[in-house]
């Protein structure tokens, strides 16, 4: 009887113990999943913020497979192809003039002369674009429309429209253009953050001027950097092996649900054509840039104010230090910029950034991608590792000028408060100059009047670049006024007739 009682008691205790273990295990898994879901939700919410800017009614399609279990891309292609457009650009180069020396005239004292090559022929280029709203907003690449005097868009139904360039951002190579209408088919935003390496994707565009072309491949890698040169400040590309060729630039990279996850931008090739890999700008970056351009007229860039070690430099010059830090998972803070919001929040040199708003950070490219989706004034939670301990800080992001203000679209020419007149070749010859633009008038409230530049002043160069027209001046001034640099200064070299050359600096950072 006692033996039976012990057996029953043992079974009861084992049952209680098993139930307890199961309960605690379930609770642990729930908390773990909740943490993971919190990170994914934080990413998703920010990824979808810009979709609201374009009034997208996102309809999600289920993954499609054939009866044999293979992926079926037909539904994704049908959903996308009418929202991808053919972009044609026309560029009219400026009239070229070049000095030459006639040896006979040189020896007889006439010197050199300007030779006119005649009116240059317009240059025509082609690319792709993605309609992202019912009322005709289109994302494309900046390099597709840069310098264009005319932009036209052809839909999949062969209807052609004249497009207006709303704005562009050379740093991310994203431009926003618009066609007039209110019932266009568009491609819904997806989440580039949720893409997995090995996942099927489609590239839709117009390679070699062949319209409505769809190719398939897989995501080969994420967060690729240093693909299109060091001049680009923000690089975190999706690498795919779908065939992408000249003409695909600005086209759509979509997942198997037909959702826009990237803008096709570059290829890796020694011949200029597809050679195995292509690169797309994640929609988490491209969508935010387009949203900023639409809402503010310029891109709102936030900074943390931190400096990270240059791994390649350290590898070459300090191999021992490189061995110490090469395996760090996260971003090591090497130093801070002036007026750093991160330093003000309590983060220290030597800390390792592990996550931003619960999104894991493994390298600097991932950090750039995360910060690139925020605006000045946004507060983010930064988790760091310090001496083996996890610590959290709240950082209020700033703009490049060290404030939390949103940057407004600045008309640099309006700030100058002046009008200009081109100088004839004969006048240039009399003055002994090869370039120049004359100031025709100035306003009393403009920066020209403030710095002592008045009517009759002849501008030779701005920032050491020769100018010959108001368009030349506008290009340099706007580039400076809308840059992300703290110093928005133009240096003007010019003179009044019969006076010496003057050098005048004008600050464009404020009215």
> Known catalytic residues?
143, 173, 249
In the numeric block, which tokens belong to residue 31? Answer: 């908390």
Instruction: Report yes or no: 309 and 332 within 8 Å, Cβ to Cβ.
Output: yes
d(CA 449, CA 447): 5
**Of residues 198, 285, 213, 200, the one with CA closest to residue 245:** 213
What number of residues does the chain have?
A: 511
Alpha carbon separation from 258 to 51, 130, 159, 203, 427 (Å, rounded): 15, 13, 23, 11, 61
Alpha carbon separation from 159 to 54, 99, 142, 209 (Å, rounded): 22, 46, 23, 16
Which residues have CB under 8 Å from 20's CB, separation 6+? none
- At 349 the three-state DSSP class reads coil
Q: For the chain, how far is it from start to end, CA to CA, in angstroms?
A: 98
Give me the residues paired with residue 254 across strands. Answer: 202, 260
**Of residues 331, 302, 42, the one with CA closest to residue 193:** 42
Which residues have CB under 8 Å from 494's CB, separation 6+? 436, 453, 457, 458, 459, 460, 461, 501, 502, 504
DSSP for 27-85, please give it.
HHHHHHHHHHHHHHHHHHHHHHHHHHHTT----PPPP-B-TTS-B--HHHHHHHHTTEE
């Amino acid at each position: 009887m006692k033996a039976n009682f012990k057996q029953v008691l043992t079974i009861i205790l084992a049952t209680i113990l098993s139930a307890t273990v199961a309960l605690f295990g379930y609770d642990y898994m729930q908390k773990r999943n909740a943490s993971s879901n919190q990170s994914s939700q934080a990413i998703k919410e920010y990824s979808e913020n810009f979709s609201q800017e374009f009034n997208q009614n996102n309809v999600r399609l289920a993954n499609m497979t054939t009866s044999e279990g293979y992926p079926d891309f037909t539904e994704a292609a049908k959903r996308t192809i009418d929202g991808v457009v053919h972009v044609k650009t026309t560029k009219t180069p400026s009239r070229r003039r070049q000095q030459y020396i006639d040896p006979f005239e040189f020896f007889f004292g006439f010197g050199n002369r300007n030779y006119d090559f005649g009116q240059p022929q317009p240059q025509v280029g082609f690319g792709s674009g993605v309609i992202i709203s019912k009322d005709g907003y289109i994302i494309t690449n900046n390099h597709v429309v840069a310098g264009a005097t005319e932009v036209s868009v052809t839909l999949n139904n062969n209807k052609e429209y004249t497009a207006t360039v709303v704005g562009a951002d050379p740093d991310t190579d994203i431009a926003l253009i618009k066609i007039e209408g209110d019932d266009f088919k568009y491609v819904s935003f997806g989440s580039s953050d949720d893409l997995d390496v090995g996942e099927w994707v489609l590239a839709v565009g117009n390679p070699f001027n062949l319209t409505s072309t769809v190719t398939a491949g897989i995501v080969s890698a994420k967060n690729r950097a240093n693909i299109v040169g060091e001049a680009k400040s923000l690089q975190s590309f999706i690498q795919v092996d779908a065939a992408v060729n000249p003409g695909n630039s600005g086209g759509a990279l979509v997942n198997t649900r037909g959702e826009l996850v990237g803008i096709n931008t570059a290829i890796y090739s020694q011949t200029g054509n597809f050679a195995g890999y292509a690169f797309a700008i994640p929609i988490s970056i491209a969508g935010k840039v387009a949203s900023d351009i639409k809402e503010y007229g310029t891109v709102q860039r936030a900074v943390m104010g931190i400096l990270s070690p240059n791994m390649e430099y350290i590898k070459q010059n300090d191999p021992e230090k490189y061995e110490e830090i090469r395996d760090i998972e996260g971003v090591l803070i090497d130093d801070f910029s002036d007026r750093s919001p991160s330093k003000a929040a309590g983060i220290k040199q030597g800390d390792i950034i592990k996550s931003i708003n619960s999104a894991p950070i493994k390298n600097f490219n991932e950090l750039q991608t995360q910060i690139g989706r925020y605006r000045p004034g946004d507060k983010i939670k930064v988790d760091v590792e310090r001496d083996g301990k996890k610590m959290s800080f709240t950082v209020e992001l700033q703009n490049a000028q060290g404030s939390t203000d949103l940057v407004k679209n600045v008309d640099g020419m309006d700030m100058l408060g002046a009008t200009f007149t081109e100088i004839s070749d004969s006048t240039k010859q009399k003055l002994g100059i090869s370039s120049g633009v004359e100031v025709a008038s100035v306003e009393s409230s403009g920066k020209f009047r403030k710095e002592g530049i008045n009517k009759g002043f002849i501008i030779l160069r701005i920032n050491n670049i020769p100018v010959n027209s108001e368009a030349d001046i506008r290009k340099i001034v706007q580039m400076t006024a809308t840059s992300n640099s703290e110093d928005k200064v133009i240096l003007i070299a010019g003179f009044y007739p019969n006076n010496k050359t003057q050098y005048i600096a004008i600050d464009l950072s404020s009215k």
